[in-house]
Structure formats: C-alpha cells, structure tokens
C-alpha cells in the first residue's frame, strides 16, 4: 500500500473511475510521476483502495463535538468546512530547516527500497529568515509541516479537502488520507503533525507562518479496527514532525 508517507517521495497524478457494483476483474490505474523518476516492478505497492457505505463524512457540528471530547488538534480548532491546518515556518535561527524542495534533476527512486537514498541527492532544504515568509516557486514541489499536531480517534479516519480555493493558488497534500489512530496515544502517538505536500500553480506564491494552508475532514468508520496503523512498531507515523519518506536516509 502506498500510504501518505510513502507517497512523499513523489506526488503521483493518478486517475481512476468508481468501480461499479458487482464488477469482477482487474483494476487499472494510470500513474504519472511528476517529481522523481521511479522504478517499480511486479508486486510493488502503489495505491490503496477504500470502501465507503452510506453517508460517512462528519459535519462541522460533529467535528466540533468530537474536538471537545478528544482534542482533534492541539489548541483551538478552526472548523468551517473542515478543520483548518496552518503551515509551520517558525524559526529561531536562519539555518533551521522548515521544509524541503524537490530537485529538478535527480536519480531514479526504487519504490521498494527503504533507507536507501541520500536526502541531498533529491531534496534541497528550505530555510526562511525568522519572521519572514516562504515564496513557493511555480510548479516546484515542497514538503512542509503543519503547526498543529493532529489526533484522530480509532473510530474515525481523516482526509484532506482535495481543493480549497480560499487557501490560494496552490495545491496541498496529494496523498491526504489519515488512518484511524493517527497521532493517538493508544497507537503510541501524542499528536502528530501533518507532513504537507505543496505545489504552487502558474505564479509564485508567498506563504507565512501560521497561514491556513488546507483543511481536513473526518469520516466515521463502520467499525473500530482491531489494530491501529503503526501501533507497537515504533512507526514514524506516530509522533511525527517534518519528515521525508522512508526511502531517504535520516540525517
């Protein structure tokens, strides 16, 4: 399965239609890497499928009640068509890394290799001066982090709103699904910051620390999962901050 963290190596452009009820046969997925060339082979896991039944997306009122019960984000929650997430560009020194920008030219990434590539061969670190914003260059791919730490209870899953014209001329989070228990204490977490995948369109766009960069919504599950993702494995999925995918060696 190509989950949210695996997909940080490259933002895939993929298209597929809904599968009709009663269909039996193969599924075909068109995948177009837009950042790094990648190597796949038979058995490589590139996508995931989710099944929905009935009305599943929580209303703002439901998310407000849930936030009162379990604190979906640390601090106050801005809930309006989803829960607002802001970008973390806070720095105390000019050499502090607040994100990464993908290099225009790089080697091939083998999708099945873990901890195999030097970050510097594929990514440029992003720095901002204290109190200053970050200019997103057109069509460049950035990895940033949210200011808020997120906690999704085991009874729900989360998903980024695919497109929100109110946040600006850029798209955030190409792989925006969050498993039940993301950041939850019962899965070994204590709130997890969201790694944001950002690409500006057509024109440069400046973002500042604390600016709303996206919103996510919650979906009710039909049943509580027996095992939470990353539980007991020391997974980077819990307690995470700014981080690239498992394919790149931690510095």
**Domains identified in the chain and CATH numbers:** 54-104+123-220 (2.70.40.10)
Calculate mean pLDDT across residues 97-126. 94
Residue 120, CB-side half-sphere exposure with 13 Å CA sphere: 1
For residue 44 the two structure tokens come to 């490589």
Q: Where residue 94 falls among pLDDT bands split at 50, 70, 90?
A: confident
Q: Where residue 120 falls among pLDDT bands split at 50, 70, 90?
A: very high
Q: Where residue 103 falls among pLDDT bands split at 50, 70, 90?
A: very high
Which of 120-134, 169-183, 233-247: highest mean pLDDT? 120-134
Question: What's the pLDDT at 226?
Answer: 86
pLDDT tens readout for residues 38-57: 999 999 988 777 888 877 89
Q: Are 12 and 32 in contact (CB under 8 A)?
A: yes
Q: Is the pLDDT of residue 111 over 50?
A: yes
Q: Are 207 and 134 in contact (CB under 8 A)?
A: yes
Question: What's the pLDDT at 160?
Answer: 84
Q: Are 148 and 72 in contact (CB under 8 A)?
A: no
Calculate mean pLDDT across residues 200-214. 87
């Amino acid at each position: 399965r190509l989950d949210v963290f695996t997909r940080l190596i490259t933002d895939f452009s993929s298209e597929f239609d809904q599968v009709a009820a009663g269909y039996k046969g193969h599924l075909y997925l068109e995948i177009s890497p837009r950042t790094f060339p990648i190597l796949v082979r038979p058995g490589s896991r590139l996508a995931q499928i989710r099944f929905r039944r009935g009305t599943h997306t929580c209303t703002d009122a439901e998310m407000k009640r849930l936030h009162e019960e379990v604190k979906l984000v640390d601090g106050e929650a801005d809930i309006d068509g989803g829960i607002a997430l802001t970008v973390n560009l806070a720095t105390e020194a000019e050499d502090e890394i607040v994100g990464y920008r993908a290099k225009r030219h790089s080697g091939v990434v083998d999708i099945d290799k873990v901890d195999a590539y030097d970050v510097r061969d594929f990514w440029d670190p992003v720095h901002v001066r204290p109190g200053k914003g970050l200019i997103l260059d057109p069509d460049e791919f950035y990895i940033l982090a949210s200011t808020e730490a997120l906690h999704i209870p085991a009874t729900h899953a989360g998903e980024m709103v695919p497109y929100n014209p109110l946040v600006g001329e850029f798209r955030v989070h190409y792989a925006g699904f969050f498993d039940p228990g993301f950041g939850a204490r019962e899965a070994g977490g204590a709130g997890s910051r969201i790694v944001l995948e950002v690409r500006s369109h057509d024109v440069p766009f400046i973002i500042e620390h604390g600016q709303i960069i996206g919103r996510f919504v919650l979906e009710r599950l039909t049943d509580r999962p027996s095992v939470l993702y990353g539980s007991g494995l020391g997974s980077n999925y819990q307690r995470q901050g700014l981080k690239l995918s498992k394919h790149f060696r931690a510095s």
